[in-house]
Amino acid sequence: MTTPTSDIDETSPRIAGKHELAEYLEAGCKPAADWRIGTEHEKFGFLRENLAPLPYEGKASVLAMLEGLRDRFGWDPIVESGKLIGLQRDGASVSLEPGGQFELSGAPLETIHQTCTEVGRHLEEVREIADPLGISFLGLGASPLWSLAETPVMPKGRYKIMMEYMDKVGRLGRQMMFRTCTVQTNLDFASEADMVKKFRVALALQPLGTALFANSPFMEGRPNGFLSYRSQIWTDTDPDRTGMLPFVFEDGMGFERYVDYALDVPMYFVRRGGKYLDASGLSFRDFMEGMLEILPGELPAMDDFADHLSTIFPEVRLKRFLEMRGSDAGPWSHLCAFSAFWVGLLYCPVCLDGAWDRVKNWTAAEREAMRQSVRTLGLKTPIPGGATMQDLAMEMLDLARIGLSNRNNLSASGDNETGYLAELDEIARSGKSPANRLLERYYGPWNRDVRHVFTEQAY
């Protein structure tokens, strides 16, 4: 959900027509040699003393974390209305989600080895600042203990607009904003046709990603009835900007078709004069005609469209790359495995074709049924043809392993990227997601005390 905080350049060229928006997306096409991997992950900060969430300000706080990283490790500050709300360095950024979730948006990197090193380095830096302050971070898909009222609110202008609008369009939007964490990977495409095939495969397989990484079974100190409550939250957040996008599988899908979809998604905001202007519920199509109520007569710049794209939250999102968005956050090793899984499938043409052959005959209703079922059934979810999500997991992991092996990217110790799939292989073999194992411990050695998760899942 990261959005640039610098203001729109009011002297920049205005968008002349819809074709420019499609060309903007098409400019993301690049040859395979230039494809990169961008990994993003979120985590909950808490005070070890009492397991309370981190406030924005104070001795042990989100602000103290940002200032420590800035001063000790050379991150450049991102400031909004005089408040430090993020950091950037060498193509990566640290940003804040609405409830103080700490997010690393990694730099575009060539290999999973580099991605895993980047995540590891970030967590080491975070620990170095956090430990003296009595702070730790939690790798889960949903906050397991705090109520919504107990969760702090970060001082970012867009979040106030979003909060107020969320209540009008769904029951769980604020839960999404303040009480969930995800892991995402951003991947490239070579052409419009390549984008469409990757988009379709990735969308069809997002329920599998949910099942493999399900890691949010607790809420307010007890089991919530789901393996991925984060996934449940997204089903009742805002139907205009979420979901499985059936049109992606229809004839005529391409950059222009996605632009048409994006233009029909209601707006959140426009940035002008260093502030976020409330445009919630308004039409970007009207903006294109100079008829936006809050900026009458003004046409949008391309940065306005880029902002608008960042407020659309389907299970896979198209910008100038594709974002995989269907999975819960987890421990360090799962962050590496997540990117490895999707890179193995989508960056190997033979593997991509194999995955497409497996999912191409599924209907929109079948894809949606899997999305609805997987949040509770996990790897036991039935899939078309009489198999289960567990069977599909083993098939797709075999393909991903071929894809990673074919890349032949070796670490300093001579290992290729397939080793990052080991934990997913165990999950698929056992049929037990991280959430299943957490629930086993909750009803077993934890004696139904969810506070143990703050030790066992801490970074």
Grouping H, G, I as helix, E, B as strand and the rest as coil, residue 416 is coil
Residue 46 makes CB contacts below 8 A (sequence gap 6+) with 52, 53, 54, 135, 136, 137, 138, 454
Query: Does position 166 have pLDDT exceeding 50, yes or no?
Result: yes
Give the model confidence (pLDDT) of 16-34 as tens digits.
999 999 999 999 999 999 9
Give the model confidence (pLDDT) of 326-370 as tens digits.
999 998 889 999 999 999 999 999 999 999 999 999 999 999 999
Query: Does position 1 have pLDDT exceeding 90, yes or no?
Result: no
Give the model confidence (pLDDT) of 299-320 as tens digits.
999 999 999 999 999 999 999 9
Query: Does position 10 have pLDDT exceeding 80, yes or no?
Result: no
Closest CA to 341 of 140, 206, 243, 191: 206
> What mean pLDDT do residues 179-203 have?
98
- 65, 126 contact by CB (below 8 A): yes
pLDDT band, residue 2 (cuts 50/70/90): very low
Give the model confidence (pLDDT) of 418-434 as tens digits.
999 999 999 999 999 99
Give the model confidence (pLDDT) of 367-394 as tens digits.
999 999 999 999 999 999 999 999 999 9
Q: How far is CA 178 from CA 42, 148, 153, 200, in A?
A: 12, 7, 8, 30
What's the pLDDT score for residue 8?
Answer: 63
CA–CA distance, 174 with 421 (Å, rounded to integer): 34
CA–CA distance, 180 with 426 (Å, rounded to integer): 25
> What mean pLDDT do residues 114-122 have?
96
